[in-house]
Chains A and B, each alone.
With several copies, the nearest count.
Chain A
Amino acid sequence: MPVNIIEKIEVKYLQIINEKGEADPNLIPSVSDDEITRFFETIILARAFNQRALSLQREGRIGTYASILGQEASQVGSALAFSVEDWLFPSFRESGVLVAKGYPMWMLYRYWAGDERGMKCPENLNIFPMSVPVGTHVPHATGAAWAMKLKGHRKAAGVYFGDGGSSKGDFHEGLNFAGVFKAPVVFLCQNNQWAISVPRSLQTAAKTIAQKAYAHGFEGIQVDGNDAAAVYKATKDAVEKAKNGGGPTLIECFTYRLDDHTTADDASRYRAKEEVEAWRAKEPLVRLRLYLEKKGKWTKEYEEGVTKKAQESVDAEIKKAEAYPPPDPADLIRYTYAELTPRQKKEMKESGWGS
Chain B
Amino acid sequence: MGKLNIVGAINSALSEEMERDRDVIVIGEDVGRDGGVFRVTEGLLAKFGPERIIDTPLSELGIIGAAIGLAAYGMKPVAEIQFMGFLYAGLEQVFSHAVRIRSRSRGRFSVPMVIRTPYGIGIKPPELHSESSEALFCHMPGIKVVVPSTPYNAKGLLKSAIRDPDTVLFMEPSRLYRSIKADVPDGDYTVPLGRASIHQEGRDLTVVSWGTMLHRASEAAEGFDAEIIDLMTLKPFDEEAVLTSVKKTGRLVIVHEAPRIAGFGAEVAALVAEEAIEYLKAPVLRVAGLEAVVPMARLEDYYMPSLERIRKAYEKVMRY
A and B touch in the complex (CB under 8 A): yes
Contact indicator A177/B59 (Cβ below 8 Å): yes
**Surface stretch bound by A, among B2-10, B93-101, B247-255:** B93-101
Interface contact A198-B126, CB-CB below 8 Å: no
Q: Does A128 sit within 8 A of B, measured CB to CB?
A: yes
Contact A133–B70 (Cβ < 8 Å): no
Give chain B residues whose Cβ lies under 8 Å from the Cβ of A96: none
Q: Does A114 reach chain B (CB closer than 8 Å)?
A: yes
Q: Kindly state whether residue A300 has any CB partner on chain B within 8 Å.
A: no
Q: Tell yes or no: B211 within 8 A of A by CB.
A: no
Which chain B residues border A193 with CB–CB below 8 Å? none
Contact indicator A133/B128 (Cβ below 8 Å): yes
In the assembled complex, which residues on chain B have CB atoms less than 8 Å from the CB atom of A165?
Answer: 58
Q: Which residues of B contact A138 (CB under 8 A)?
A: 65
Complexed CA–CA distance, A125 and B128 (Å)? 25
Q: Is the CB of B61 within 8 A of A169?
A: yes
Which of A115, A117, A140, A343 touches B261 (beta carbons < 8 Å)?
A: A343
Indicate if A332 sits at the interface (CB-CB under 8 A): yes
User: In the complex, A11 Cα to B104 Cα: how many Å?
Assistant: 37
Whether a CB of chain B sits under 8 angstroms from the CB of A215 is: no
Contact B302 A119 (CB under 8 A): no
Stretch binding the partner chain, chosen from B11-19, B31-39, B200-208: B31-39
Q: Is A128 a contact of B109 with CB atoms below 8 Å?
A: yes
CB-contacts of B172-225 with A (<8 A) = 194
Picked from B67, B108, B125, B166, the residue with its CB within 8 Å of the CB of A63 is B125
Which residues of chain B are within 8 angstroms of A92 by Cβ–Cβ distance? 126
Partner of B66, one of A64, A142, A343, A347: A142
Chain B residue at minimum C-beta to C-beta distance from A128:
B109
Task: Kindly state whether residue A270 has any CB partner on chain B within 8 Å.
Answer: yes
Query: Are B126 and A129 in touch, CB under 8 angstroms?
Result: no
Q: Is A37 an interface residue (CB 8 A)?
A: no
27 contacts between A and B (CB under 8 A): A114-B296, A116-B103, A119-B105, A136-B65, A136-B92, A136-B96, A138-B65, A139-B66, A140-B66, A143-B70, A144-B69, A146-B70, A168-B61, A170-B92, A173-B57, A173-B62, A176-B59, A177-B56, A197-B33, A198-B55, A198-B57, A203-B58, A332-B292, A336-B291, A336-B292, A338-B102, A344-B290
B97 x A137 contact (CB < 8 A): yes
A133 and B85 form a contact (CB under 8 A): yes
The stretch from B71-79, B147-155, B276-284 touching chain A is: B71-79
Inter-chain contact count A-B, CB under 8 Å?
252
Residues from chain A with a CB closer than 8 A to the CB of B295 are 116, 332
B39 nearest in chain A by CB position? A269
Query: Chain A residues with Cβ under 8 A from B97's Cβ?
Result: 131, 136-137, 140
A-to-B contact residues, CB < 8 Å: 63-64, 87, 89, 92, 113-117, 119-121, 123, 128-129, 131-148, 150-151, 157, 164-165, 167-170, 173-174, 176-177, 180-181, 195-198, 202-204, 264-265, 269-270, 326-327, 329, 331-333, 335-338, 341-344, 347, 351
Bound form: Cα–Cα A337–B291 in Å: 10
B58 in contact with A135 (CB, 8 Å): yes
A335 x B103 contact (CB < 8 A): yes
B138 → A minimal CB distance (Å): 12
Report yes or no: B61 in contact with A338, Cβ–Cβ below 8 A: no
Asked if B29 and A195 sit within 8 Å, CB to CB, the answer is yes
Lowest 4 A-B CB distances belong to which pairs? A143-B69, A139-B65, A114-B297, A173-B62
Looking at A115, A134, A146, A173, the one whose CB has the most chain B CB atoms below 10 A away is A173
A64-B126 contact in complex given A146-B70, A174-B62, A337-B166, C-beta closer than 8 Å: yes
User: Chain A residues with Cβ under 8 A from B32's Cβ?
Assistant: 197
Q: Which residues of B contact A148 (CB under 8 A)?
A: 73
Contact (Cβ within 8 A) A327 B58: no
Complex Cα spacing A181 to B72, Å: 18
Most buried by B among A177, A180, A204, A351: A177
Q: Which residues of B contact A144 (CB under 8 A)?
A: 69-70, 72-73
Decide if B286 is an interface residue (CB 8 Å cutoff). no
Residue of chain A at shortest CB distance from B112: A338
Contacts of B70 in A (CB 8 A): 143-144, 146-147, 150
Q: Chain A: which residue is nearest B235 at the CB level? A: A341
A128 touches which of B72, B240, B300 (Cβ 8 Å): B72
Residue among A129, A137, A265 facing the most chain B CB atoms (10 A cut-off): A129
The 8 Å CB contact of B58, one of A87, A198, A326, is A198
